[in-house]
Amino acid sequence: MKICYDIEKLKRIAEGISALTGLTFSFRDEAFKPLCGVKARGDFCSAAQKDGQTGERCAQCDARLMEKCQISGRLEQHYCHLGLLDLAMPIYKEGQVVGGILFGRVRAEHSPQKSPIEGLDALYQQVPYFSEQKIESLYTLLPDILFESAISFEEQSLSERAAAYIRTNLQADLSVGALCTQCFCSKNALYEAFHAAFGCTVNEYVTSARLTRAKELLRETEEPVYAIAAQVGIENYTYFCKLFKKKIGVTPADYRKATI
pLDDT, tens digit, 9 for 90 and up, residues 1-20: 678 888 888 888 888 888 88
Q: What is the CATH number of the domain that holds 84?
A: 3.30.450
Dihedral angle at the C-alpha atoms of 202, 208, 214, 218, nearest 10 degrees? 180
Q: Are residues 138 and 202 in the same domain?
A: no
pLDDT at 43: 78
Tens digit of pLDDT for each residue in 165-219? Answer: 999 899 999 999 999 998 889 999 999 999 999 999 999 999 999 999 999 999 9
Which of 154, 177, 202 is the endpoint of a domain? 154
Q: Based on the fold, state whether residues 193 and 137 are members of the same structural domain.
A: no
**Domain closes at, from 121, 154, 187:** 154
**Stretch 52-63: mean pLDDT:** 80
Q: Is 239 exposed, middle or buried (0-12, 13-18, 19+ CB in 10 A)?
A: exposed
pLDDT of residue 41: 67
Final residue belonging to a domain, choices 154, 183, 210: 154
Query: Among 98-112, 201-215, 237-251, which is the least confidently predicted range?
Result: 98-112
Q: 138 and 181 share a domain?
A: no
Query: What is the torsion angle, in degrees rounded to the nearest 10, for the CA atoms of residue 71, residue 76, residue 78 and residue 80?
Result: 60
* Environment class of 95 (CB within 10 Å of its CB; exposed 0-12, middle 13-18, buried 19+): exposed
- 167 in the same domain as 147: no
The sign of the dihedral angle between the CA atoms of 137, 93, 75, 43 is: negative
pLDDT reported for residue 52: 67
Q: Are residues 110 and 165 in the same domain?
A: no
Would you give the end-to-end CA distance of the chain in angstroms?
39
Regarding whether 253 and 189 lie in a shared domain, the answer is yes
For 229, other C-beta atoms within 10 Å of its C-beta total: 24
44 and 134 in a common domain: yes
> 182 and 53 in one domain?
no
